[in-house]
Each structure stands twice: as C-alpha cells, then as structure tokens.
Structure 1
C-alpha cells in the first residue's frame, strides 16, 4: 500500500512548464481512481463528482502535510509547502477520513479450499468515502510503519515528489531526477 499512497501524493508533480495536478478536475480523479480501482476497493465504473474531487484533494493536502512532518528536519516538497494545512488539522483530516468507512476482516471459505481473510467495509458507504478511507488508511500504514524513516523529498531541480529511499546511496526519486541534479550541479560548478 505504500506505493499506492506515494502515487496518490504524486498526483501533484512538476514538469518544465510548472506544477501539474492530475486531480484538477473530476475527470482526472475518475481516471486516477479507475487505474487503482482494485487496490482501492472501487467498482471500475467509479465516477467522481466535483465534490468528491475537492474532498480527495483536501485529503491529499493533509497527507502531504503529514509527509512534510515525517521528512523533517529535511525540507518538505516544494510543490505546495506553503499551502498545506497545519499538523493538527492534517492529522484530524486523515483520521476522520479513515473512520468514515470502517473496515473489518471477513473470512471466506468455499469449503473445499483454504480459507481466506479479506478486509471489507463494515458499513455501507458511498464509493467516494471508501476511496478516501482507503487512501487515509494507506497513509497511516506508511506513516506508522518502518518505511516512514525512509520517506524522503526529491531534491532534484523542479521535482516535488516524495519517495521511499530503497538504497543507502539513493538521493532522488528516479534516475531522471538524479541525472538532472548532476547536470545542474555540473553547470553551477563550471559556470564560474
């Protein structure tokens, strides 16, 4: 689930022209959620409304605020550091969204095979609420788990992404960002 939450917070990214928000409209959320429907427990036909998009972006900002706190004393993502809610507000938002669609374990067993344990929503809820609850739970799992200490902000020029440091020497979210950072450093050193 940590990769899902990283993809979610990375719906704000940068390119040469500036910041890009994949969730800037209801269609963007519909497309993004459709690509992750199985992981999110959504029907592949999920259609976002403008209200559900606003609420999902609000949750994303709260998660990004908690990520900014988790990477401290390192710098937060430059994408939206000034527009993030305060720590207490972000924490309350994530907790509230997770509680909006409580889950429970469910045992399935066809009698002949092995039993299986699945997580299901405990009370009927709207698909948009389930989407946010699953994302909030994924954020909680990352922030309360061992990967939190590996959470980093990419320091490459123009990059605004968070990533999990998978190698002791890893400094950037991708090879492309590493190349861009080295090229920028080379340019600065030889410009003088």
Structure 2
C-alpha cells in the first residue's frame, strides 16, 4: 500500500479553469469524498468517511492543512511558495506547534511481528478507536515524515501560470508538477519574449 503523503492534503487547494482556486474540502461532501479516495488510510477510516464528515472535522482538517502549507512554504524558501495563500500563512512557530499537537493526539506503539517464513518487522499499534482522531493524526504524521526526511529537499511549488500546487521533484530537471504545466509555462515565456513592449520581434528568415 502506498504511503499517505502530505502533498495530497495541501493540494486540496487547486487552480480551476476560470482563473481562480477551488477548495476540495469546502463542503462536507467534498471532505467525505476526499477521505474515501485515500487508499493509503485504513479501511476503518475510509469506510466511515460519510459518518465522520461533519463541520467540526472539516474545520480541523482545514486548520491542519493551513499549518502544513505554512511549513511547506518554509521548506521551499527561498523559492516561491504557492500563490494560493502565500500572503496569509500561519507564523512558522504556530504552524509547527499545531502540527505536533495533532500528531500527538494518537499514541502509537511499535509492535514486532516475525512470520515463521520471513524476517522480523515492525508495525504501529494504536489503541485509538475514534476515526476522526486517527485521520487527523495520520495526516499530521505524513507531513512530519515528509518535512523531516530527504523528500523535503525536493519539495517545490509549481511556478507554471495559475498553478498553485506543491510537488516533490521526481528527477533533477523537473520544474513543474505535471507536463501540462510545463507546456503552459513555456508558452507563457514564449509569449512574453515576443510581446513585451519595446522589443522588436526577430525577423523571419529569408527563403
């Protein structure tokens, strides 16, 4: 099973075709749908998505996202942060304290398991039964894992026109979150080079 990533949480704020941004978590239906689609979460959480998606939980998830986005902006500095909320981020110390407090709401103990035909391994054990607490703590731990690990050095805010997403670079030359953003950025650069006031377009080559 693929690990839950904090990028999925922060990217619930995204660009839409009319030039603005949309929030996938703006409604209870959107929150329930987003939880159900997280295959990385235990089925005890995703299966209860409709039942647990109330305004209190939505507010807590959005506030956690706000803290994580502030810490993402710190991680990509001095590069640009996502323009979606770059001017109204939480102070760094407040964001850090909130993230750690949410992660600490679910006490987890490592448990050793050792199959007869294989090597030993460990897995977390939680005594928490409230799926709301488990969801929030899992999202917070995902952010802590990313920000405290090597992926932090590859975290970027996409700089394509109108894009507000964060991404983790998959290779050294990656500049944008997806190919369509790269195409849009190159087209914008081309337009700027050829339509900037005071510049003379290059002469067409002679036949």
TM-score (norm 1): 0.91
Deviation, structure 1 residue 104: 1.6
2-structure distance, mates of 1:113, 1:56: 41
Contact 1:2 1:141 in 2 (8 A): no
Q: Matches of 1:103 and 1:54 in 2, distance apart?
A: 24
Q: Distance in 2 between matches of 1:16 and 1:116?
A: 47
Aligned residue among 20, 34, 37 for 2:36: 34
Equivalent position of 2:11 in the other structure? 10
Take 1:106 and 1:27, find their aligned partners in 2: how far apart are those partners? 36
Q: Aligned ranges for residues 86-125 of structure 1 at < 5 Å? A: 86-108=91-113, 113-114=117-118, 117-121=122-126, 123-125=127-129
SS of alignment partner, residue 81 of structure 1: coil
Tell me the CA shift for residue 108 of structure 1.
4.5
Q: Which has the higher helix share?
A: 1
1:52 maps onto 2:51 in alignment: no
Greater Rg, structure 1 or structure 2? 2
Residue deviations 1:115-173, cap 9 Å, x none?
A: 5532222x324211111101111101110001111111100000011111122111111
Query: Does residue 170 of structure 1 match 2:187?
Result: no
- For residues 137 and 116 of structure 2, the distance between their equivalents in structure 1, rounded to whole angstroms, comes to 34
The CA deviation string for residues 54-83 of structure 1, in whole angstroms up to 9 with x for no partner, is: 100000010000000000111110011123
Match of 2:26 in 1: 24
Classify 1:62/1:75 alpha carbon distance in 2 versus 1 (closer, same or farther; 3 Å): same
Please report the RMSD computed on the Cα atoms of aligned residues, expressed in angstroms: 1.8
Please give the secondary structure, in 2, of the residue aligned with 1:104: strand
Contact 1:108/1:118 (<8 A) preserved: yes
Which ranges in structure 2 are unaligned for 5 or more consecutive residues? 197-207
Worse overlay, 4-13 or 40-49: 40-49
Partner of 1:76: 81
Return closer, same or farther for 1:163/1:74 CA change in 2, 3 Å cut-off. Answer: same
Q: Secondary structure at the match of 2:5?
A: helix
Report the Cα distance in structure 2 between the residues aligned to 1:178 and 1:140, rounded to whole angstroms: 29
